[in-house]
DNA sequence: GCATGTCAAGTTGTG
DNA sequence: CACAACTTGACATGC
């Protein structure tokens, strides 16, 4: 891990990607729409979107500072379709490339000054354990994009799932290990693994993470949906040791089930976090926890209030 | 204007 | 065997 953003102690709650009430929006486009344009037209459109999104990120960080929120997950398509095989591009190709890079630098400095911890969570198409060399190759390319952007923005971690099982978890993790060793340094130094809600439990991942010195992002909602023999306390503590070994503040995820724990499918996320779902053993820790809730910054603020961790500077309504 | 269908990519589990 | 669910919109199209 490159840096430990924190000089603070205690719990830090993070927002995932989007805002509910704040007027901050990120734009995107599709490959199909781009392919209807000549190349020069594609690049003009992409340049506008990238500049807009970089400015939106800057506005997002300012809003987070105002709200007293100490962590932010940046959406992966900040620069839409950048690694697409047919319409992909580099900063040098964009008319506003210099302005975009300048804005990223402004964001990096602001986040550093205000101690806002940044993360990435590339989506489900990044699968390093796949038996398909094609899938692995495009995954590595996508991670390289995240690594490049992470260096520009001072992003702490790039968090992914272990991927598919393909009938043999051990063999799948073996493949993951081989790919991990050869990742470019900006990616390798930031890569973390997260337990998921269908395949890989904390117990599956912890020995692997220990062996390869990869921090585990412990998602307690996934653990409750996809349990193993570990208690929440034990999983939290063993994950904490991995972060400590890297000299980095621990990172976790929390969410509540939309339809309740007794419902047939507790996996979908609710608008807000039910305080009972927040593990007691997390309250006294120093760590970052992303709040995966549909009400976005409103849910983060409510949980901060419920946990009594609003700071004097940021108690505003 | 507003409603609706569509959007690069993987894997798993369900109907 | 086809399709929805993960993250979950936002955009493009057509009325």
> pLDDT tens across A40-81, in order?
989 999 999 999 999 999 999 999 999 999 999 999 999 999
**What's the Å distance between residue A312 CA and nucleotide C5 C1'?**
41
Whole-number pLDDT of residue A8: 65
Output the CA–CA distances (angstroms, integers) from residue A195 to A46, A213, A228, A236, in the order listed. Answer: 34, 16, 11, 12
pLDDT in tens, A111-155: 999 999 999 999 889 999 999 999 999 999 999 999 999 999 999
**Residue at minimum CA to C1' distance from nucleotide B13:** A198
> Is A158 inside any structural domain?
yes
Query: What's residue A1's pLDDT?
Result: 53
pLDDT of residue A67: 94
pLDDT of residue A71: 95
User: With a 7 Å cutoff on the CB, does A32 touch strand B?
Assistant: yes
| Percent share of chain A, pLDDT over 90 | 76
Residue A315 clears pLDDT 90, i.e. is over it: no
Q: Within 7 A of a protein CB, which nucleotides of strand C?
A: 5-13
Asked if strand B comes closer than 7 Å to A112 Cβ, the answer is no
For residues A263-272, average pLDDT: 83
Domain extent, residue A264, equals 11-315
CA A248: distance to chain centroid?
16
User: Does A119 map to a domain?
Assistant: yes
Question: What CATH number is attached to the domain comprising A74?
Answer: 3.20.20.150
A91-130 residues near strand C (Cβ < 7 Å): 123-124
Domain assignment of residue A74, yes or no: yes
In a domain, A1, yes or no: no
Q: Which of residues 248-267 of A touch strand C (CB under 7 A)?
A: 255, 265, 267
Question: CB < 7 Å to strand C — which of 213-242 in chain A?
Answer: none
Give the pLDDT confidence of A208-243 residue by residue, as tens digits.
Answer: 999 999 999 999 999 999 999 999 999 999 999 999
Give me chain A's average pLDDT, please: 91
Looking at strand B, which nucleotides approach a protein CB closer than 7 A? 6-13
A63 in a structural domain? yes
Provide the whole-model pTM.
Answer: 0.94
A77 touches strand B (CB under 7 A): yes
A52 touches strand C (CB under 7 A): no
State how many domains chain A has: 1
Residue A2 inside a domain? The answer is: no
């Amino acid at each position: 891990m490159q840096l430990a953003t924190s000089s603070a102690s205690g719990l830090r709650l993070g927002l995932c990607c989007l805002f509910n009430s704040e007027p901050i929006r990120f734009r995107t486009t599709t490959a199909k729409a781009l392919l209807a344009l000549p190349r020069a037209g594609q690049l003009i459109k992409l340049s506008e979107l990238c500049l807009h999104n970089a400015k939106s990120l800057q506005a997002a960080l300012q809003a987070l500072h105002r709200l007293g929120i100490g962590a932010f997950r940046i959406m992966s398509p900040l620069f839409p379709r950048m690694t697409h095989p047919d319409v992909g591009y580099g900063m040098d190709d964009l008319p506003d490339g210099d302005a975009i890079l300048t804005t990223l630098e402004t964001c990096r400095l602001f986040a550093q000054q205000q101690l806002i911890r940044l993360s990435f969570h590339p989506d489900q198409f990044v699968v390093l354990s796949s038996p398909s060399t094609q899938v692995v190759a495009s995954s590595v390319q996508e991670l390289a994009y995240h690594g490049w952007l992470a260096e520009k923005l001072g992003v702490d971690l790039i968090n992914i799932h272990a991927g598919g099982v393909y009938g043999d978890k051990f063999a799948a993790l073996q493949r993951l290990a081989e790919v991990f060793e050869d990742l470019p340094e900006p990616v390798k130094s930031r890569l973390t693994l997260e337990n998921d809600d269908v395949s890989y439990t904390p117990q599956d991942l912890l020995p692997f993470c220990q062996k390869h010195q990869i921090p585990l992002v412990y998602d307690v909602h996934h653990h409750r949906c996809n349990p193993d023999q570990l208690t929440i306390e034990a999983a939290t503590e063993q994950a904490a040791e991995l972060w400590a070994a890297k000299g980095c503040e621990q990172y976790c995820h929390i969410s509540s089930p939309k339809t309740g724990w007794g419902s047939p499918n507790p996996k979908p996320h609710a608008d807000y976090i039910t305080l009972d779902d927040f593990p007691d053993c997390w309250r006294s820790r120093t760590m970052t926890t992303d709040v995966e809730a549909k009400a976005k910054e409103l849910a983060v603020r409510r949980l901060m209030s419920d946990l009594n961790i609003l700071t004097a500077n940021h108690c505003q309504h």
